[in-house]
Amino acid sequence: MSTTNFTSLHSFITRDSDINPDPYGYRPTLSVCILFLCLFGASTFIHLCQSIAYRKWFFLYTAVLAGLLEILGWSGRLWSNRNLPSNSAYLIQIICTIQGPTPLLAANFVILAGLIKKLGDRYCRLRPKIYSIIFLTCDIIALGVQGTGGGIAASSNDPDTVNLGSHIMLGGIVFQLVVIICYMLLAMEFFWRYSHNLPIRLGSSPSDVKPSLLRGPAQWLVYALMFNTACLFIRAIYRTVELTDGFHGKIIETQWLFNVFDGAMIVLAMVTFNIAHPGLLLKDDDRNEDDFIIQPILMENSGPQVYGKVIV
């Protein structure tokens, strides 16, 4: 991105509303803002209740926190509809909507670690605990970098400082995009190895390790995880392209792109875990792996034994 594009954010955060009458390039639509506030509010409240009911406390600082940030961000956009020149409203929406999905991504890391623990970590390159530590640390770093960049840009009227903050904010989003890609690659490898009985490590004798079919709770949770991650991935790509195009670029000044590729993607990601909640599908009890898979089916024929399997 050119220096001109980045330093143009200076005109957005200046305290002089006469210089900055239209920070968005459009006026946020009132009905759209209210719609997303209702959707995020409902999903966040349900996540709060589900966290308490299922005792999945990590959802309080992941999905619930993400929902609260999105509510703040869309409140800022609603405020802008009533008072377009307000710099405070613009800053609230841009910082909160950029940071909002980051805690939700952390929920994906925790859920996948739980699935790996249930289905067998012999198919994964990392132990569940190590996996969680690495990716949660990366998520916290991404959140911190984005927040630092936004704070630097918002607290200064100096073009060079604003330029620095903008670069840092974009760097945090790009870093998050890389983390999502690494996460998806490791997850795909795990499920592929699980389905094809190709363990990286043998936790038992080879005869005890047979390919199996996912079913019921694990299957639905895997599908939910895939869809949720896809939504967050699409949103991360959009945000990266948006900021690369610049703060006076065509993308950032096109409202429907933001509504579809940011707002709608995060709503879908949050609602997915309302419907397929890990508290219901991945219970912390003493059930063994047999409750989450279909046992290998022996095909009786005159030839070698063949086990049914499916790629997830």
State yes or no: pLDDT of 236 exceeds 70. Answer: yes
> Which pLDDT band, with edges at 50, 70 and 90, does 125 fall under?
confident
Task: Supply the pLDDT for residue 51.
Answer: 95
Report if residue 266 sits inside a domain: yes
Task: Supply the pLDDT for residue 205.
Answer: 39
State yes or no: pLDDT of 254 exceeds 60. Answer: yes
Task: Write the pLDDT tens digit of every residue in 175-200.
Answer: 999 999 999 999 999 989 888 888 88
Task: Write the pLDDT tens digit of every residue in 45-101.
Answer: 999 999 999 999 999 999 999 999 999 999 999 999 999 998 889 889 988 999 999
DSSP class of residue 112?
H
State yes or no: pLDDT of 223 exceeds 60. Answer: yes
Q: How many domains does the chain have?
A: 1
Task: Write the pLDDT tens digit of every residue in 11-49.
Answer: 444 433 344 577 888 999 999 999 999 999 999 999 999
Report if residue 307 sits inside a domain: no
Q: Cα 80 to the chain's mean position, in Å?
A: 26
Report if residue 311 sits inside a domain: no
3-class DSSP state of 295: coil
Residue 158 maps to which CATH number? 1.20.1070
Task: Supply the pLDDT for residue 214.
Answer: 65
Report if residue 168 sits inside a domain: yes
Report if residue 269 sits inside a domain: yes
Q: Which residue has the higher pLDDT, 246 or 85?
A: 85
> Which pLDDT band, with edges at 50, 70 and 90, does 275 fall under?
very high
State yes or no: pLDDT of 163 exceeds 90. Answer: no
CB 242 within 8 A of CB 232: no
State yes or no: pLDDT of 309 exceeds 70. Answer: no
Please tell me the distance from the alpha carbon of residue 149 to that of residue 297, in angstroms, as a whole number. Answer: 55
State yes or no: pLDDT of 241 exceeds 50. Answer: yes
Region 100-106 average pLDDT: 93
Per DSSP (E only), the strands in the chain are 213-214, 293-294
State yes or no: pLDDT of 208 exceeds 50. Answer: no
State yes or no: pLDDT of 229 exceeds 50. Answer: yes
> Which pLDDT band, with edges at 50, 70 and 90, does 212 fall under?
low
Report if residue 17 sits inside a domain: yes
> Which residues are paired to 181 by β-bridges?
none
Nearest to 292 by CA among 115, 133, 137, 167: 115
Report if residue 310 sits inside a domain: no
> Which pLDDT band, with edges at 50, 70 and 90, does 311 fall under?
very low
Report if residue 308 sits inside a domain: no
State yes or no: pLDDT of 8 exceeds 80. Answer: no
Region 219-230 average pLDDT: 92
Whole-number average pLDDT of the chain: 81
- Domain span at 76: 3-282+289-294
Task: Write the pLDDT tens digit of every residue in 296-307.
Answer: 333 333 343 333
* One-letter-per-residue 3-state SS of 233-254: HHHHHHHHHHHHHCCCCCCCCC
Task: Write the pLDDT tens digit of every residue in 140-161.
Answer: 999 899 888 877 776 667 777 7
> Which pLDDT band, with edges at 50, 70 and 90, does 295 fall under?
very low
**DSSP per-residue string spanning 166-225:** HHHHHHHHHHHHHHHHHHHHHHHHHHHHHHHT--SS-SS-GGG----EE-HHHHHHHHHH
